[in-house]
Amino acid sequence: MANNSLKSFASGMIIATSIFTAVYYFQPFNKREQKIVENDTLTSEEVQAYLNNNGYISISEQTYDELVAKSKEFEAIKNQTQKASEPKLPEQKETVPIPPSPEVEKKIFTLTVKSGMDSIQIANLLENAGIVDSGREFEQFLTKKDWTRSIQVGTYKLNSSMSYEEIGKIITKKK
């Protein structure tokens, strides 16, 4: 008897599913529910306003191509000048860091670390301020030292002559 009950239940499910399918596919189309999607086209004024509001500029393709060509010319001249001025030295396995020349202006920056800031945000702030050469490298340095979770909330005076180690010790209050 249980077998007949199961067959009856399965038959009922098939019939109900068939009815719902028929109603769904064969119901009359209601035009009031149809959404008309209009093709929004932007005017050049709207595009220009967007660019200006977000700090971008637009240039023509011709101007862009000219800038790219000049950039390539500049790189080629720069490479030729560097090659010509480099003395021929035997290969060295270790590189010795060159201290910054005294005529380079030291940049001073006050870093304010707020609650919720991560090491990537801090590294980008330092790069934008000219304190570190590469925010990505500084963030990798902090990660390698396992200092990313030790950064303390506060305000710190930093300058561009500091090493990654010095900056890291200051913002993590490590000794």
pLDDT digits over 81-122, tens only?
A: 777 666 655 555 555 565 655 555 778 888 888 888 888 888
Q: How far apart are the first and last CA of the chain?
A: 82
CA distance 136 to 72: 26
Look at residue 92 in the predicted model and tell me its pLDDT. Answer: 52
The count of other CB atoms within 10 Å of the CB of residue 121 is: 14
* Residue 2 binned pLDDT confidence (cut-offs 50, 70, 90): confident
Q: Locate the domains of the chain by residue range.
A: 44-80, 108-172
pLDDT digits over 25-53, tens only?
A: 887 766 555 565 566 677 888 888 888 88
CATH architecture of 108-172: 2-Layer Sandwich (3.30)
Quote the mean pLDDT of the chain: 81
CA distance 111 to 132: 12
Look at residue 54 in the predicted model and tell me its pLDDT. Answer: 83
Look at residue 87 in the predicted model and tell me its pLDDT. Answer: 61
Give the whole-number percent of the chain exceeding pLDDT 90: 9
* Residue 17 binned pLDDT confidence (cut-offs 50, 70, 90): very high
The count of other CB atoms within 10 Å of the CB of residue 43 is: 8
